[in-house]
Amino acid sequence: MDVIAENVTQIWPGRHGDDVVALDSFSHRFASGRFSCLLGPSGCGKSTLVQIVGGLEQATSGAVRIVDPKRPDAMRPLGADSVMVWQHLNLFPWRSVVDNVAFGLEMQGVPKAQRHERARALVASVGLRGFENHLPGHLSGGMRQRVALARALILERPIMLMDEPFGALDAQTKIVMQEELLRIFDETKKTILFVTHAIEEAILLGDEVIVMTARPGRIKEVIKVDLPRPRSLEMVSSKAFGELFDRAFHLIREEVMTSMAQQAKALEEQ
Ligand SMILES: Nc1ncnc2c1ncn2[C@@H]1O[C@H](COP(=O)(O)OP(=O)(O)OP(=O)(O)O)[C@@H](O)[C@H]1O
Ligand SMILES: [Mg+2]
Please list the pLDDT of the chain residue by residue as tens digits (270 residues): 899 999 999 999 877 778 889 999 999 999 999 999 999 999 899 999 999 999 889 999 999 999 888 887 766 667 778 899 887 768 999 999 999 999 999 999 999 999 999 999 999 988 899 999 999 999 988 899 899 999 999 999 999 999 999 888 888 888 988 998 999 999 999 999 999 999 999 999 999 999 999 989 999 999 999 999 999 989 999 999 999 999 999 999 999 999 899 888 888 877
SS3 annotation, 54-122: CCCCCCCEEEEEEEECCEEEEEECCCCCEEEEECCCCCCCCCCHHHHHCHHHHHCCCCHHHHHHHHHHH
Contact (Cβ atoms closer than 8 angstroms) between residue 42 and residue 34: no
**Nearest ligand atom owner, CA of 42:** 1
Q: Domain coordinates of the chain in residue numbers? A: 32-56+69-81+159-269, 91-156
> For residues 242 and 246, what is the distance between their CA atoms, to the nearest angstrom?
6
Look at the pTM and tell me if it is higher than 0.75: yes
In a mutational test of the pocket of ligand 1, which residue from 20, 196, 252 has the highest number of ligand atoms less than 8 Å from its CB? 20
Cis upstream peptide for 13 (omega within 30°): no
> What angle do helix axes 171-188 and 141-153 make, rounded to 10 degrees?
20
Q: Could you tell me the fold of the domain covering 32-56+69-81+159-269?
A: Rossmann fold (3.40.50)
Contact (Cβ atoms closer than 8 angstroms) between residue 191 and residue 31: yes
Alpha carbon of 22 to ligand 1 centroid (Å) = 7
